[in-house]
Structure 1
Amino acid sequence: MQDRKEHSIGFVKNIKNTLHDWWMSYDRKLWTACIFVYGSLLLLVVSVGVILFTHFNLFHTEPTSARYMLSALVQSQAAIVAIVISLTLIAVQLTASAYSPRVIDIFKKNPDMWLLLGCYGVSIFYGFIVLKLVEGAGGEAVSQSVIWSIGRFSVSFEFYVSLAYWLGVFTFVALFPYMLNIIGLLKSGNIIKRLATEISKDKILNSEEDPIQPIMDIVHGSIMKYDIATTRVGLKAVTDRVIKIINSDDEEEISGHFCKHLERVGKLAVSRMDEESTKEVIGQLDFFGESTAEKGLQCATAQTAEFLSAIGVTAADKGLVVATWRAVEFLEAVGKAAADKGLEKATWHVALSLGVFGRSTAEKGLVGATRQIAWTLEAVGRTAAGKRFESATKKVAISLGDVGKAAAEKGLESATQRVVESLVALGRTAADKRLKDVAREAAMYLAKLAILSEEIVKTAIQDYESRLEEHDRESFQKFMKLYEQELEKLRVKRRT
């Protein structure tokens, strides 16, 4: 008995939760809007019909004419609704084949078709009932006797016949908003908007069907057709939705899931040599990374940096110069946003990602990209030093050292010089902020570069010193002493 009671309570709770979810959902808003539109249209048609029939004294119909008109009306409505539904199903099939089979769910949940079917069904069956009730021979009029009344208002059978005509007019007029809505729904932007409403934290974490995948299917198809507008809309819709639902409880799972989708899209765009789409992917990752940094989400921001770097490396492999530079630029933006918000772990990961990216561009002989990465590492490092993030700033020094080594080994003189200047700037800033371990780390990597390319390092240091202002010279001299100590250690080690 107790088990049955608990089962009943659980069943009632499930119904309440389902109704609550539906009431708060986007589907409820769609149904409400459609019911309002079709209801207003019905009220308008009936009101106009009453006014016109009253004004022109049309409330009199011969039984034969009534039977003929009602029969013709019902038949025409049945034919029209059959044609409309057939065309709708064809449109659904074509849309599903063009975008994704999961688009079918959008049409299935679309209230327009069900409301139109309901309106036609009510009108047709109402016409049948009235047709059955029509009495009288030719030459007579349909009965004007009152069937029922409410206060001052009375309704005759003639009114029922007239109402059948008005319902017929309404069902024909209702085709216009229906067709407008269906045609609008065939647009990729509207489909994406509907699919984006299905993305929720619970569905991403628990659902067997990935709510992001249908939009990614559309984006993949648009990239194959070089449809940049649809690609942009799809990526933005997913990014905006994920930013809205992500929080500190599940940031790692949600951001990882989202970034993997964008990585696949980015690599597809790169493989198609579609630089515009690649830039869109990079731009959305940047927006996501900066937004998660603003929310204080360490893991999500760190993951974004890693995936930005991965797409940038892939773009560099294919020679997409603008996309590569855009990835570097946005990594800097994410790194600075993370540092400004006090996210040292995320800043550390940005430095790591930039180091991997820089080594890759240096090994491929991309001088411009390597120089840009060195400058970006310097900017991130100085911001991190300003926040006294010792671990993150030290990682910047390590990444600069790795990039400089790769550039020197490939004989990229200009890139190596830029790395040297960035290391000096970072070391000077660390010395100024009294981050001794960071300054020594930067000095050590600078000394290693001097062993590989002594003349380049010497020239770069001289150029940097010539541009220094007077108030920066003290910290510069402190760093130079550390550099000379580290260089002497390496020389002694080499001699032994």
Structure 2
Amino acid sequence: MKQDLIYLFKRAGIFLFYYISVILICGILFSHFNFAPTNIENERSLISTIIQSQATIISIVITLSLVAIQITASQYSSKIIDYIKRHPDFWILTVIYIISIIYGLIILRTLSLDNVNYFLGIPLDSYISLELGIAIYSLIILFPYIITTTNLLGANVIIDELSKKIDKKSIITQNEDFNFYFTIINSSMLKNDLEVTTYGLFKINKIIIPIFKNASRDEITQINIAYDEKLRELRSLSQKMNFEYITGYVCNCHYAVAKEVLDDDLPLLLDSQIS
């Protein structure tokens, strides 16, 4: 939860930086070129067009995002949906568009009033310029959103993200992140994507060994049992699919753990590592 909040604030900070940069640049350009609608009818037409365009864009983006997530989930696991929901970019983008549309509707309503040139003591032209800036900003942020979302759905990226959440506690309790990590590896093997499979095994082994070094004897026993269970499942699947390379790779993972157990003088745990 703490890591998710940190990531949320980090991503929100990036989007805020984009917003400030775009609004400042637009403000300078609008002031320099005196870019503004010439009359009230043009202003209404412009704001109305912006609102309709933003509503169309966000509906298309949401639809395409959900389709991409559904396709990825069908390839790996339905838990992909929960994994994606924890990433804030989709929600931040949606909130930005909703705020922009609501703001545009308020300005459009104000423009409908007769003989109103100021709102809260500020000229309406300033509000219109701000709406234009927000509209441009909402278009620009689509590019980092698309790039981030596309990368996020890659198996290697999912493994990297999940590996950051795996620690001693998650392994011992075999929580959602730990189980999902191996679900991705299993699904990759079933798809004959052996590159992702070996990458996942390499990554988890790099995590497990340091954890062994900083765990108590009881914790080592529990970690070994949880990890060994997942490796056995992978080895059994690789043997059924005749992936001798993966079977050998899994045995190397067993060996690495067994070596660590020997170094810590815990020979009773070796039985589970011998095959």
Give the TM-score taking structure 1 as reference length.
0.51
Q: Which residue in the other structure is 2:140 paired with? A: 173
Letter in 1 for 2:199: V
1:243 to 204, 209, 234: 209
Q: Which residue in the other structure is 1:254 paired with? A: 223
Tell me which moved more, 112-121 or 92-101: 92-101
1:80-119 → structure 2 map (5 Å cutoff): 80-119=57-96
Q: Which residue in the other structure is 2:240 paired with? A: 271
Q: Which residue in the other structure is 1:161 paired with? A: 128
Deviations 1:51-75 (A, max 9, x none): 1111101245421111111111111
Letter in 1 for 2:178: I
Q: Which residue in the other structure is 2:12 paired with? A: 35
Shift in Å, 1:274: 0.8
Deviations 1:14-54 (A, max 9, x none): xxxxxxx51xx2x2342233112211111111011111111
Gaps of 5+ in 1: 1-20, 149-154, 311-496
Say if 2:271 is the partner of 1:309: no
Give 3-state SS (helix, strand or coil) of 1:226's partner: coil
Say if 2:174 is the partner of 1:214: no
d(CA) in 2 for partners of 1:169 and 1:237? 41
Q: Which residue in the other structure is 2:165 paired with? A: 198
d(CA) in 1 for partners of 2:185 and 2:244? 15
Give 3-state SS (helix, strand or coil) of 2:177's partner: coil
d(CA) in 2 for partners of 1:222 and 1:97? 12
Give 3-state SS (helix, strand or coil) of 1:212's partner: helix
Which structure exhibits the higher relative contact order, with contacts defined as CA atoms closer than 8 Å and separated by 6 or more residues? 2
Deviations 1:280-309 (A, max 9, x none): 212222333334555x2x44x653x43442
Q: Which residue in the other structure is 1:75 paired with? A: 52
d(CA) in 2 for partners of 1:288 and 1:58? 67
d(CA) in 2 for partners of 1:230 and 1:285? 19
Q: What percent of counterpart residues are identical?
A: 28
Question: Are the aligned partners of 2:77 and 2:183 in contact in 1 as well (CA < 8 Å)?
Answer: yes
Say if 2:261 is the partner of 1:284: no
Deviations 1:359-395 (A, max 9, x none): xxxxxxxxxxxxxxxxxxxxxxxxxxxxxxxxxxxxx
1:315-464 → structure 2 map (5 Å cutoff): none
- Structure 1 residues 135 and 220 mapped into 2: Cα distance closer, same or farther (>3 Å)? closer
Shift in Å, 1:255: 0.9
Shift in Å, 1:252: 0.5
Say if 2:166 is the partner of 1:189: no
Question: Are the aligned partners of 1:147 and 1:157 in contact in 2 as well (CA < 8 Å)?
Answer: no
1:55 to 32, 38, 41: 32
Tell me which moved more, 227-236 or 27-36: 27-36
Letter in 2 for 1:250: E
- Structure 1 residues 269 and 76 mapped into 2: Cα distance closer, same or farther (>3 Å)? same
Question: Are the aligned partners of 1:92 and 1:104 in contact in 2 as well (CA < 8 Å)?
Answer: yes
Cα RMSD (Å): 2.4
Give 3-state SS (helix, strand or coil) of 1:58's partner: coil
Question: Are the aligned partners of 2:171 and 2:227 in contact in 1 as well (CA < 8 Å)?
Answer: no
Give 3-state SS (helix, strand or coil) of 1:211's partner: helix
Pick the structure with greater CA Rg: 1
Question: Are the aligned partners of 2:107 and 2:128 in contact in 1 as well (CA < 8 Å)?
Answer: yes
d(CA) in 2 for partners of 1:51 and 1:93? 43
Question: Are the aligned partners of 2:73 and 2:80 in contact in 1 as well (CA < 8 Å)?
Answer: yes
Letter in 2 for 1:236: F
Question: Are the aligned partners of 2:257 and 2:273 in contact in 1 as well (CA < 8 Å)?
Answer: no
Letter in 2 for 1:215: Y
- Structure 1 residues 240 and 158 mapped into 2: Cα distance closer, same or farther (>3 Å)? same
Shift in Å, 1:135: 4.7
Give 3-state SS (helix, strand or coil) of 1:79's partner: helix
Question: Are the aligned partners of 1:204 and 1:210 in contact in 2 as well (CA < 8 Å)?
Answer: no
- Count of residue pairs the alignment pairs up: 272
Question: Are the aligned partners of 2:37 and 2:43 in contact in 1 as well (CA < 8 Å)?
Answer: no
Give 3-state SS (helix, strand or coil) of 2:34's partner: coil
Gaps of 5+ in 2: none
Letter in 2 for 1:230: V
